[in-house]
Amino acid sequence: MMLEDKVAVVYGAGGAIGSAVARAFASEGARLFLTGHHLAPVEVVAKEVVSAGGSAEAGEVDALDEQAVDRHLRSVTDEAGRVDISFNAIGIPSPRLRVPLVELDVEQFSLPITAYTRSYFVTARLAARRMVANRSGVIMTVTAIPSRTGIPLVGGGGPAMAAVEALTRGLSAELAPQGIRVVGLRPQGMPETARIKESFELYAKASGMTWEQFHELGAARTHPRRLSTLAEMANVAVFMASDQASGMTGTVVNLSLGSLDD
Ligand SMILES: NC(=O)c1ccc[n+]([C@@H]2O[C@H](COP(=O)([O-])OP(=O)(O)OC[C@H]3O[C@@H](n4cnc5c(N)ncnc54)[C@H](OP(=O)(O)O)[C@@H]3O)[C@@H](O)[C@H]2O)c1
C-alpha cells in the first residue's frame, strides 16, 4: 500500500474533496485524523473509513484558527507520535451573487484571499514544525483553475488561488532542505461536487444556458472532451502524498485534462 502507516491530517474532511481524499488515503493504509469546521460531516466520513477497515478519528477544528490547529496537532503527535501528511481542502462558502470586479465590495473581494492564505499558512507551518523533527513530511494544498487563467465573476477567488500556489512554492523552497515536500493539486471543476453544481448553475443561469449545455461547454475545452472526477483527483493526491512522488516539490499538479496549458 502506498501510504502504509502514514499519519495524515485532513482539514475540510467533511467536504467533497476532503472526504474523497480521506477515503483514498485510508484505502492505501494511512492512519487518518480528520477535521472540519463542524464535527457531524467529518464523523460520517470517519465512520465510513472505519467500517471499511481503515483507521480514522474525527475532530472539530476551525482551520483558520491557529490555536485550534495547534491544539489538534499536539493531540495527533501525542497519540500517533508524528505527522507525515497535511492535506488542507477547506472551502469557504461561494458567494450566492456573482458580481463583476468593478462593482465588487472590497470586503467581499478580500475575503477569499484572506481566508485561504491564512488557513494554508497556519496549517502548513504548524505541520512543518512537527515534521522537521523527522526530516520528513508532505504538505498539500488545493487550488483551482482561476489561479492561472482569467475567469469572469469569481471576485477575489482567482487572486486567492494564485496566492496559495505562490505559498506552496515558497514553503517548498524553505522546507525541502529539511526533508519536507510541499505540493499542490489544481483540479478543474468536478461536476459531481455540490460546490461546482451550485456555481455552474449560477453561471449557466446568468448566461441563459441549461446546466447540461454549460457542462458540455466546459467538457469541450478538455482534451478527452469530459470533466474529471473526484476519484481521479484522489488517486493523484495519493501518489503525491506517497514516497513515490519524492521527486516532486514546489509544484502544483495541473488536473485540467488539457484545458489549461502549463
Ligand atoms: N469541487 C471542485 O470541483 C473543486 C475544483 C477545484 C478546486 N476546488 C477547491 O477545493 C476546495 C474544496 O472544495 P470542495 O468541493 O471539497 O468544497 P466543499 O464540499 O464545500 O467542502 C469544503 C469543506 O471545508 C470546510 N470548511 C470551511 N471553512 C472551514 C474552516 N474554517 N475550517 C475547517 N473546515 C472548513 C467545510 O466545512 P463546513 O461545511 O462544516 O463549514 C466543508 O466541509 C475549495 O477551495 C474549492 O474552491 C474545488
Residue 16 Cα to ligand 1 midpoint, Å, equals 7
Residue 130 Cα to ligand 1 midpoint, Å, equals 25
Lowest mean pLDDT segment, chosen from 157-161, 165-169, 199-203 = 199-203
Q: Is 9 in the pocket of ligand 1 (CB under 6 A)?
A: no
What local confidence, expressed as pLDDT, does residue 96 receive?
73
Residue 135 Cα to ligand 1 midpoint, Å, equals 30
Residue 156 — very low, low, confident or very high, per pLDDT cuts 50/70/90? very high
Q: Is 36 in the pocket of ligand 1 (CB under 6 A)?
A: yes
pLDDT digits (tens, 9 = 90+) for 58-110: 999 999 999 999 999 999 999 999 999 999 999 999 887 789 999 999 999 99
Residue 177 Cα to ligand 1 midpoint, Å, equals 31
Q: Is 242 in the pocket of ligand 1 (CB under 6 A)?
A: no
What local confidence, expressed as pLDDT, does residue 27 receive?
98
* Residue to substitute in 86, 142, 203, 228 for testing ligand 1 pocket (most ligand atoms within 8 angstroms of CB): 142
User: And the C-alpha cell for 99?
Assistant: 458580481
Residue 92 Cα to ligand 1 midpoint, Å, equals 6
Q: Describe the strand order of the beta sheet including 31-36 as a list of residue ranges.
A: 55-60, 31-36, 7-11, 85-88, 137-142, 180-187, 251-255
Query: Among the atoms of ligand 1, which is closest to the Cα of residue 119?
Result: 31
What local confidence, expressed as pLDDT, does residue 119 receive?
98
C-alpha 78: how far from chain center: 25
Whole-model pTM: value is: 0.97
What local confidence, expressed as pLDDT, does residue 108 receive?
96
What local confidence, expressed as pLDDT, does residue 77 receive?
98
Q: From atom 38 of ligand 1, which residue's Cα is the shortest distance away?
A: 37
- For cell 489549461, what's the residue? 260
What local confidence, expressed as pLDDT, does residue 83 receive?
98
Average pLDDT over residues 30-46: 98
Q: Classify residue 53 by burial, with Cβ atoms within 10 Å: 0-12, 13-18, 19+.
A: exposed
In this predicted structure, the answer to whether residue 118 has a pLDDT above a threshold of 90 is: yes
Average pLDDT over residues 16-33: 98
Contact 54, 26 (CB under 8 A): yes
What local confidence, expressed as pLDDT, does residue 213 receive?
86
pLDDT digits (tens, 9 = 90+) for 184-232: 999 999 999 999 988 877 777 777 888 888 888 889 999 999 999 999 9
Q: Is 187 in the pocket of ligand 1 (CB under 6 A)?
A: yes
Higher pLDDT, 48 or 197: 48
CA geometry: angle 109, 115, 121, nearest 5 deg: 135
Residue 42 — very low, low, confident or very high, per pLDDT cuts 50/70/90? very high
Q: What is the DSSP letter of 202?
A: H
Q: Is 218 in the pocket of ligand 1 (CB under 6 A)?
A: no
Residue 10 Cα to ligand 1 midpoint, Å, equals 12
| Mean pLDDT over the full length of the chain | 96
* Residue to substitute in 90, 252, 260 for testing ligand 1 pocket (most ligand atoms within 8 angstroms of CB): 90
